[in-house]
Every structure is written in structure tokens, then in C-alpha cells.
């Protein structure tokens, strides 16, 4: 009998978040799963890592005898400790999510969910990030139904070296999934929605950063546009080499002539 693929699953909503439980439920029959996830919510931490305080890796009885590992750090910390301590050999895949709230468009730059996938790719391991559009009353059940086929597709058709897959599920308000679209990244992202407050005892002003969705005139073939039409979107994001080659070629000689 063929061995099941070994998958490290993680998230940024925390080891006890409902999304990671749905992710485990979606994949446990097709893969050997190891959970390494943050002790507490780490949303919007991006690719940050913990350098100035010690990290603890705690073994948990996660649910019904299932073992999980909890880390008092970021999603990237979880992947680093998972690969260096929990796993004796590299897993076949890293899967992050299921996130509460969209990581489509440029939200991927802030997302801890996507960051965990990036960390895996930097270690030479293919990775997928899964997110649901709705932040409130999130419909993990629908996402759960589609995740196994997407994961099996990636295992059967490996991603290029340095590339992760950022998958987003549309709002449940659209009632049904119309299909899958592999597409490019859109422009939208969560921007600040500042709220100013005054501390009555300390006598100083403070702020809640807040968030609101900054929307743009999107091209038709991008994740933001397809999500609005009811499609599951998958954006291949390449992180091995980030050079703007067009600018490099156009300005290289002029810049070097400054010396």
C-alpha cells in the first residue's frame, strides 16, 4: 500500500481556531497530518519571526486523542520549529488555513496564513494557503469540501520551485461555487481605518489602526474579480526571486554611472 503524503498544517488564527479543525477534517483521510500552529491568534503578522524572546513548543492533546504542537510565536516560527524539531524529514507539503477572512489581492503581503506557506517555500517545500472571504460567520464547510481535490492536484502536479498557491473561497452570500479559476493577483487590500481615542487617566491620545477594504478598478482576470463572481481562486505566487527585472535593465547603467 502506498504511503500517504506527509503534510504539515498550520495557520495564523491559532491552534484552537475552527478553521484549522476543518482543514484537518478535510485532509486526514488522504494524508498523514502534523499540526504545528500558533498558541494564540497571529493574524496580519506577515512573515515576521521571533528573535528577542524564547519560543516554546508545547505538545497538546488537540482533539479526541489527536496530537498537535503549539508555538508561542508567529506562523513562520511554527513552520521553522516544525521543520527543525517536529519533523525528522521534510514533509511533502505545507498547508496553511483555513483562514477567517480573505487573503486575495495584496492582502497576501500582510497575511500570516500566506506567510506560513512562504516560509515553507523558502525551505524548498511546496505550500498552499487556504482562506475564506467572510470574516464573520465564516463558511468553512464549503471550503472543506473542495480542499482535498486541490491538495491532491498539487501533490500530483507539483508547483514550480519557489512558488506557493494562494487559494481563496468566495463569500457564502453568493450561495454556490461556480467553478475554479487559476488567475493572477488583484489589487485590493485591507488598508487602515484609523480611530482616535483619548486615555482619560494617562491623558494621551491613542489609536486603533482598524481596517477597511481598499478597492480598485480590477482587471477581469484576477482573484478579486473572479471571487465576486462565485469562483474559487488560486494564485501561484513566486517568492524565490523578487527582482524587478524591467527596472533593473532600464536603470542599471544610469545608476552605476553615479559613482
- Give the rounded percent of residues in the chain with a pLDDT score beyond 70: 99
Ranges of each domain in the chain: 6-187+217-256
Which tens digits make up the pLDDT trace of 82-137? 999 999 999 999 999 999 999 999 999 999 999 999 999 999 999 999 999 999 99
Scored b (16 or more CB within 10 A) or e, 217-242 reads: ebeeebbbbbbeebbbbbbebebeee
Residue 1 has pLDDT above 50, yes or no: no
* Cα–Cα distance for residue pair 6/181, rounded to 1 Å: 26
Q: Mean pLDDT over all residues of the chain?
A: 94
The fold of 6-187+217-256 is: Stationary-phase Survival Protein Sure Homolog; Chain: A, (3.40.1210)
pLDDT at 244: 93
Which tens digits make up the pLDDT trace of 171-222? 998 878 999 999 999 998 778 788 989 999 988 998 888 877 778 888 999 9
pLDDT at 2: 65
Q: What is the pTM of this model?
A: 0.93
Which tens digits make up the pLDDT trace of 105-116? 999 999 999 999
Amino acid at each position: 500500500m502506498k504511503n500517504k503524503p506527509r503534510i504539515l498544517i498550520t495557520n495564523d488564527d491559532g491552534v484552537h481556531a475552527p478553521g484549522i479543525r476543518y482543514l484537518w477534517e478535510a485532509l486526514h483521510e488522504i494524508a498523514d497530518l502534523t499540526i504545528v500552529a500558533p498558541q494564540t491568534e497571529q493574524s496580519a503578522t506577515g512573515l515576521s519571526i521571533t528573535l528577542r524572546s524564547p519560543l516554546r513548543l508545547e505538545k497538546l492533546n488537540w482533539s479526541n486523542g489527536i496530537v498537535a504542537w503549539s508555538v508561542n510565536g508567529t506562523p513562520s516560527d511554527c513552520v521553522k520549529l516544525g521543520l527543525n524539531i517536529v519533523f525528522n524529514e521534510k514533509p511533502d507539503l505545507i498547508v496553511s488555513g483555513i483562514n477567517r477572512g480573505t487573503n486575495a489581492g495584496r492582502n497576501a503581503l500582510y497575511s500570516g496564513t500566506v506567510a506560513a506557506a512562504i516560509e515553507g517555500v523558502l525551505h524548498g517545500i511546496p505550500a498552499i494557503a487556504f482562506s475564506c472571504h467572510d470574516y464573520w460567520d465564516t463558511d468553512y464547510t464549503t471550503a472543506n469540501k473542495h480542499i482535498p481535490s486541490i491538495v491532491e492536484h498539487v501533490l500530483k502536479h507539483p508547483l514550480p520551485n519557489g512558488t506557493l498557491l494562494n487559494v481563496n473561497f468566495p463569500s457564502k452570500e453568493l450561495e454556490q461555487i461556480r467553478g475554479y479559476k487559476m488567475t493572477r493577483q488583484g489589487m485590493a487590500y485591507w488598508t487602515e481605518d484609523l480611530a482616535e481615542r483619548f486615555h482619560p487617566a494617562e491623558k494621551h491620545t491613542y489609536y486603533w489602526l482598524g481596517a477597511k477594504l481598499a478597492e480598485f478598478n480590477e482587471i477581469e482576470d484576477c482573484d478579486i474579480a473572479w471571487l465576486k463572481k462565485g469562483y474559487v481562486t488560486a494564485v501561484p505566487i513566486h517568492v524565490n526571486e523578487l527582482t524587478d527585472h524591467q527596472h533593473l535593465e532600464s536603470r542599471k547603467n544610469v545608476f552605476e554611472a553615479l559613482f
